[in-house]
C-alpha cells in the first residue's frame, strides 16, 4: 500500500518536471509548418492525427489553443495529462480502442461542437504505426475531418521506447507536415470504415515520410 502511494506521488511529481523541460526545449526550436493553411479553413470539427512517437512537436505547436487531447487512464497517462493541461490542452481521459465508450462519446460531443482534437491513433501502447479503429468510428459519428500529421527535426534523439519517441535537440530546426483531410460518411459500412482506417494509416506515413525527408534536401 505504501509502495503504491509512493509510486503515485512520484508520477504526479514527474508532470511539472517534464513540462518544464518540454517548454525549455520548445522555446529554442524553430518550427516550420507545411500544409497548415489548407486545413485551417475547415469549418467543422477536426482531428490532428499523428504517431505517438512524434507527438511532442505538434503538442508544442498547438499549445494554448484550447485543443482537446484523448489521454489514457494509465500511470503514464496521469503524467501525460498533467503535461498537456499545463500546455493549455483540454483533456478527455480514456482510450477509444480499448473499450472506452465514455471517452468516445465525450470526444464525439466535442467534435460536433466544431472543436479540434489532437490524437495518436497508434497509442497508448501500440503497435507503433498502426491506426486503431476507434478514431474512424469517432469521425463517422461526429462528421469531423481527419488531418494526418507528420513531424521531424534536423537534429533529434529517439528514446528506447516502444514508439521510439522523438525528442528534438535544443535549437534545432523542425517541421510539421499537415496532409489533406479525410472524411468518413455517416452511413459508412464496416468495410468502408476499414478502408478509411487504412487510408489514414497510409496518409500519416506519407506525411511522416515528407517530414523525415525535409532536412535531407
Where does the pLDDT of residue 96 fall: very low under 50, low under 70, confident under 90, or very high at 90 and above? Answer: low
Highest mean pLDDT among 97-101, 160-164, 203-207 belongs to 203-207
Give the C-alpha separation, 158 to 163, whole Å: 9
Give the distance between the most distant pair of CA atoms in the chain.
Answer: 55
- The pLDDT, as a whole number, for residue 188 is 96
Q: pLDDT-based confidence at 217, cuts 50/70/90?
A: low
- Percent above pLDDT 70 for the chain: 92
Report the DSSP beta bridge partners of residue 177: 34, 150
**What's the pLDDT score for residue 1?**
46
Instruction: Return the higher-pLDDT residue of 5 and 154.
Output: 154
Residue from 133, 217, 148 nearest 182 by CA: 148
What is the reported pLDDT for 112? 96
Residue among 95, 154, 84 at smallest CA distance from 123: 95
Q: What's residue 86's pLDDT?
A: 93
Report the pLDDT averaged over residues 56-71: 94
pTM beyond 0.75: the answer is yes
Q: Which residues are 167's β-sheet partners?
A: 157
Question: What stretches of the chain show up as alpha helix (H) in DSSP?
Answer: 2-26, 36-40, 56-62, 75-86, 101-112, 134-142, 190-213
Average pLDDT for 93-114 = 83
**Which grid coordinates are listed for 203?**
496518409
Give the pLDDT band of residue 62 (cuts 50, 70, 90). Answer: very high
SS3 labels along 162-177: CCCCEEECCCCEEEEE
Q: For residues 86 and 16, is the Cβ–Cβ distance under 8 A? A: yes
Q: Kindly report which listed range (98-107, 147-156, 183-192, 201-210) carries the lowest average pLDDT score.
A: 98-107
| Continuous segment of H or E residues that includes residue 31 | strand 30-34
The pLDDT assigned to 6 comes to: 38
Regarding predicted confidence, which is higher, 98 or 14? Answer: 14
Q: What is the mean pLDDT of the chain?
A: 89
Mean pLDDT of 89-96: 84
* Closest CA relative to residue 144, chosen from 57, 67, 51, 53: 67
Stretch 60-65: mean pLDDT: 94
Amino acid at each position: 500500500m505504501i509502495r503504491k502511494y509512493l509510486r503515485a506521488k512520484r508520477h504526479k511529481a514527474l508532470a511539472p518536471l517534464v513540462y518544464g523541460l518540454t517548454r525549455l526545449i520548445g522555446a529554442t526550436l524553430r518550427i516550420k509548418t507545411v500544409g497548415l493553411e489548407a486545413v485551417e479553413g475547415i469549418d467543422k470539427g477536426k482531428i490532428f492525427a499523428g504517431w505517438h512517437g512524434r507527438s511532442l512537436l505538434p503538442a508544442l505547436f498547438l499549445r494554448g489553443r484550447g485543443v482537446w487531447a484523448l489521454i489514457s487512464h494509465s500511470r503514464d497517462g496521469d503524467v501525460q495529462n498533467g503535461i498537456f493541461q499545463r500546455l493549455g490542452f483540454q483533456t478527455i481521459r480514456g482510450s477509444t480502442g480499448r473499450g472506452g465508450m465514455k471517452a468516445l462519446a465525450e470526444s464525439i460531443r466535442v467534435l460536433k461542437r466544431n472543436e479540434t482534437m489532437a490524437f495518436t491513433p497508434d497509442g497508448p501502447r501500440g503497435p507503433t504505426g498502426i491506426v486503431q479503429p476507434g478514431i474512424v468510428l469517432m469521425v463517422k459519428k461526429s462528421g469531423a475531418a481527419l488531418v494526418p500529421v507528420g513531424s521531424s527535426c534536423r537534429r533529434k534523439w529517439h528514446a528506447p521506447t516502444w514508439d521510439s519517441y522523438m525528442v528534438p535537440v535544443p535549437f534545432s530546426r523542425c517541421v510539421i507536415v499537415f496532409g489533406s483531410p479525410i472524411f468518413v460518411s455517416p452511413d459508412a459500412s464496416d468495410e468502408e470504415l476499414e478502408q478509411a482506417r487504412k487510408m489514414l494509416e497510409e496518409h500519416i506515413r506519407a506525411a511522416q515520410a515528407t517530414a523525415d525527408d525535409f532536412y535531407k534536401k
